[in-house]
Structure 1
Amino acid sequence: MYLENLVLDAVDPQRVGRFWEAVVGGETLTDEPDAFETRLAVDGGPVLDLCFQRVPEAPTEPLRLHLDLRGGPRQAEEVDRLLGLGARRLDIGQGDVPWVVLADPEGNPCCVMDDRSEYTDTGPVAALPLDSADPDRDAELWSWLTGWTDAPGSAPRTLRHPSRRGPLLDLWHEPAAKGPAKNRLHLDIRLEAGDDPDEVAAGIADRGGRELHPEWAVGLPWRIYTDPSGNELCVLPART
């Protein structure tokens, strides 16, 4: 198994997708009315696809997963670049912090980070901060799903690709329990040849997750789960 996709709900997938493609320097994979996909390939590290899928109306629930972008010593220049691409400054009550909070064209928060040694070799996306009710517990599931392992970081638990390149997966104590609405940004896990989907389902359950069976997902080739904190994820079938 491996982490393949970051999936973001969008009212206008092309607008949001092209913004993020420019932000990360991605390569277009899909450009259709209801979907836009771009690929972020980290040299010597993971390949992550950013997927934007159409939804009828903008989500209102707070983001539980977002993107921290690498700013470093060129933080101010990177902020200016993103503003030029269509981002805007955003006040979410962050106060006086060393990072800069922006919103993408549909209002999704992201942060341009200050210079930190832990962001060496991350590429344009420094980290993927995920809200967690219990970072130690949830890290065990996410490490098993992705193959990422513990790494130095500022969060209570930080995971990273075994190459030690690409973004960090930071698990932070959640500011509030997850509400009933689905995450507008979630992660997809791809099975590999030889992975048994039912054994994976059992492994997720053993680590505190659970499988969902929403009516709208009937007939889809992937299966939908939550981690122990309620964050949705999809497990995609192995490629043929």
Structure 2
Amino acid sequence: MLTGIVIDALDVTRLERFWRAATRGRTGGLALRFARTARPKTDKNRLHLDLSGGPDWRSEVTRLLELGATRADIGQGEVPWDVLADPEGNEFCVLRPGHPGVRSDSGLVAICLDVAERDRGVQSDFWQSEAGWHAVEDHDWGVRLRSRADSPVALVMGPPAAPKRERNRLRPEVTRAGREPGEFLDPAGNEYHVRS
């Protein structure tokens, strides 16, 4: 079962404090766990988090900037959401009202995994099996999985896939009884953690 996200951090205390405040503690029951690293971020992440901006999304973006986020340009162009980065440069999006699939006015609403079009079916099948979540939407833009029909958080997979040059700083974490714990790779080479 997908139970959390592991985030590499140069300063664990600072990043944990940021994300606790950024999500307002609303993570849909998923744990955000922080792992100390000495390696600074250098590339666009293949996995990022989406937060709901709520009806007053402009104020929410301002609040996040005051918490230590910065605006980020990853080549997104004109899009109906705001792209920010946490204090260590990890990209995340703030979704505006009316964004498809958003089921909450605040907090974590999506875990977004870059998936190349050619890998979409394999990745969808893999993550449905590994995470125990089920596909609730399958469109030309990607696939959306949820743990249950009314879950506020979705795992969204779709293109474009950022080139994989180094270990991902954000990684899904699954809990599986009887599985050997450790770090593994999904079919597209993305790291994920298993806890037993």
Instruction: Provide TM-score, normalisation by structure 1.
Output: 0.74
Output the CA distance in 1 between the equivalents of 2:186 and 2:39: 25
Which residue is equivalent to 2:101?
A: 118
Could you tell me which residue of structure 2 aligns to residue 22 of structure 1? 21
1:222 is the counterpart of 2:181: yes
Q: Within 2, Cα distance between the matches of 1:234 and 1:101?
A: 26
CA distance in 2, matches of 1:152, 1:13: 35
Matches within 5 A, 1:5-154: 5-26=4-25, 40=26, 42=28, 47-115=29-97, 116-121=99-104, 124-133=107-116, 134-152=119-137
After superposition, the CA RMSD in angstroms is: 1.9
Determine which structure has more spread, i.e. the larger CA radius of gyration: 1
Aligned with 2:77: secondary structure?
Answer: coil
Could you say which structure has the greater relative contact order, defined with CA pairs below 8 angstroms and 6 or more residues apart? Answer: 2
% same residue: 39
List gaps (5 residues or longer) in structure 1.
Answer: 27-39, 198-220
Q: Deviations over 1:192-213 (max 9, x none)?
A: 3xxx43xxxxxxxxxxxxxxxx
Aligned length: 192
> How far apart are 1:117 and its partner, in Å?
4.4
Report the Cα distance in structure 2 between the residues aligned to 1:169 and 1:122, rounded to whole angstroms. Answer: 18
Aligned pair partner of 1:171 in 136, 157, 175: 157
Partner of 2:190: 231
* 1:188 to 2:173 alignment: yes
Aligned partners of 2:52 and 2:108 also within 8 Å: yes
Distance in 1 (CA, whole Å) between partners of 2:93 and 2:136 is 21
SS in 2 for 1:78: helix
Q: TM-score, normalised by structure 2?
A: 0.89
How far residue 167 of structure 1 moved from its aligned partner, in angstroms, is 1.3
Letter in 1 for 2:126: L
Q: Which runs of 5+ in 2 are unaligned?
A: none
* C-alpha spacing 1:41/1:60, structure 2 compared with 1 (3 Å): closer
Q: Which residue matches 1:159?
A: 145
